[in-house]
Amino acid sequence: MQTYLYRRLIQAVFVLILATFVVFLIMRLLPGDPVLLYVSQDEYTRMTSVEEIEALRHEFGLDKPLLLQYVYWIGGVTRGDLGKSIFMGTTVGSEIARALPISIHLGLVTWFISHVIGPVAGTICAVRRGKWSDTVITVLANIGICAPIFWVGILLIYTFGLHLGWLPIQGYVFPWEDFWESTRKAIMPAFCLALPHMAGSTRQTRSSMLETIRQDYIRTAWSKGLRERTVVMRHAVRNGIIPVVTMAGMAIPRIFGGQVLIETVFNIPGMGRLAVDALFTQDYAVVQGTVLVIAVIVVLSNFVVDVSYGWIDPRVRYQ
């Protein structure tokens, strides 16, 4: 197990570095001058002489080789310096610090809902294959992965917010400020975010469990006289859950992606909204910062998922 963990750790670090490099490169895709990372479009257009621009470039180290720029930038990042937000006048770091907890809260709730309900529903389907409950759940799951989540959000707002007036249609409250209100505001956004993942992991669990149930060792378990519950939980689920863990890992970046849409629909000041607003206001340093932070979180959580793999599936430990 130890070697497995070390190997995974080294891989994670390698991937992390690569990811930061990718972020760096993408931002260089800027149409126009990289100086725009540091000054606003207006200020840039106001500069008339080439020397001014050159001086600015030199100030931000943009005349140095690309690799060196990367190193400086990363150095700054590790010290907590992610640059300044041109549009809002604050540091990128402070904006992220404000938005990140919100996104993490919503993201965690979503992740847990999806990966508890999903596998449970999928297992029910597999065990009760062909019966009414299987058909209904499968149909719902098939629909759930097809619906555009921003549209579902709008539908929910229309029904539960505007027409029935049961739930608030926008905004966010921290759970420790007002738990009840926080929950009311979070229900619809969390549901929308969770929908494709609940549906996806239901389908995946169902197919994986159906495959598992056909295995020889399940027949052995029955022949030992074990109860249905034992056969399902101790023998079938433990094996069938393995691909679902993979799915759960892949869901993490996608949930962040979903937040980009949902936070827009529900007007929630999280990382998604931050990134989108920054893109449209050409506040590129903020974009760079948010994308970077999200990537780091994803790589770290993938490492945790890898570790749990080793715990669940002993065959992996001995590779």
Write out the binding residues for another protein, residues 223-282 only, by CB under 8 A.
223-228, 230, 234-235, 238-239, 250, 253-258, 260-261, 264-265, 272, 275-276, 279-280
Residues 6+ apart with CB under 8 A from 57: 33, 34, 35, 63
Stretch that binds another protein, among 22-30, 44-52, 98-106, 110-118 (CB under 8 A): 22-30
Applying CB under 8 A, which of residues 90, 94, 135, 142 lies at the interface with another protein? 142
Counted residue by residue, the chain has a size of 319
Q: How far is CA 23 from CA 130, 183, 191, in A?
A: 48, 34, 30
Q: Does 157 bind another protein (CB under 8 A)?
A: yes
Rounded least distance, CB 3 to another protein, Å? 16
Applying CB under 8 A, which of residues 72, 112, 179, 217 lies at the interface with another protein? 217
x/- string (CB under 8 A) for another protein, residues 83-102? --------------------
Applying CB under 8 A, which of residues 66, 71, 116, 143 lies at the interface with another protein? 143
In the window 102-131, what residues touch another protein (CB under 8 A)? 130
Helix intervals (H) in the chain: 2-27, 41-46, 50-59, 66-78, 92-127, 132-144, 149-156, 179-213, 216-223, 228-230, 238-240, 242-266, 271-280, 284-312, 314-317
Applying CB under 8 A, which of residues 2, 31, 79, 132 lies at the interface with another protein? 31
Applying CB under 8 A, which of residues 47, 173, 187, 221 lies at the interface with another protein? 221
Largest pairwise CA distance in the chain: 87
In the window 168-207, what residues touch another protein (CB under 8 A)? 203, 206-207
Q: How far is CA 84 from CA 74, 80, 158, 230, 283, in A?
A: 15, 12, 38, 57, 9
Applying CB under 8 A, which of residues 210, 269, 281, 307 lies at the interface with another protein? 210
Q: Is 60 left (phi over 0), alpha (psi -120 to 50) or beta?
A: alpha
By rule CB under 8 A, what count of residues binds another protein?
Answer: 78
